[in-house]
Structure 1
């Protein structure tokens, strides 16, 4: 199964929302800054809310990470569901709030021949 195209969007607090394959992941504002300015990988977080017998419980887990591509021109988002890439220029525009969203393109894993 190949990964679907995803979407990168900004939040009012300055973080980012990564929407892929019916899941909504988040990258915290301080992690976005560390990724853009220092090149530090950023954790990609998934929040789940469960309703069990009238009790609401929440669970926050790190499901992957976002990192600069070795060429330095793109950001690669890795999750358990797959990997996606977005140009660094688009990532920065969304992070600064200059663009509402940007598409994430699936990375197809290399197949050994």
Structure 2
């Protein structure tokens, strides 16, 4: 079962998802699309790739976030596992009203 994680507000409105040693982000525009139009949005991760010995920044999509079918929570699916957070907590962090909120691991085989 995945470890509990944290959703945190970052500079410029970027949302940071931290789970164990994994760190992901949701861009501000994507968070708006998720909250206001219910779109499924990507969860991204910055990777450092060495090309000929030179470090290069590369962004990859490592999961997605969506409002669940009841409209009361946001479900995040990443390589580190699947997590759920109450919609009101996600909204407070996305607006910068709360610095962070806990993510709760989903039980494998149970969708939100």
- SS of 1:13's partner is helix
- SS of 1:110's partner is coil
TM-score normalised to structure 1 length: 0.90
Aligned counterpart, 1:56:
55
1:37-68 Cα offsets, whole Å, 9 max, x none, are: 11011100010124577521122110010000
Aligned counterpart, 1:22:
21
Aligned counterpart, 2:32:
33
Aligned counterpart, 1:12:
11
State the Cα RMSD in Å. 1.5
Instruction: Work out the number of aligned pairs and report it.
Output: 110
Aligned counterpart, 1:85:
84
| 2:73–2:86 CA contact under 8 A, matched in 1 | yes
- What runs of 5+ residues in structure 2 fail to find an aligned partner? none
- What runs of 5+ residues in structure 1 fail to find an aligned partner? none
| 2:22–2:80 CA contact under 8 A, matched in 1 | no
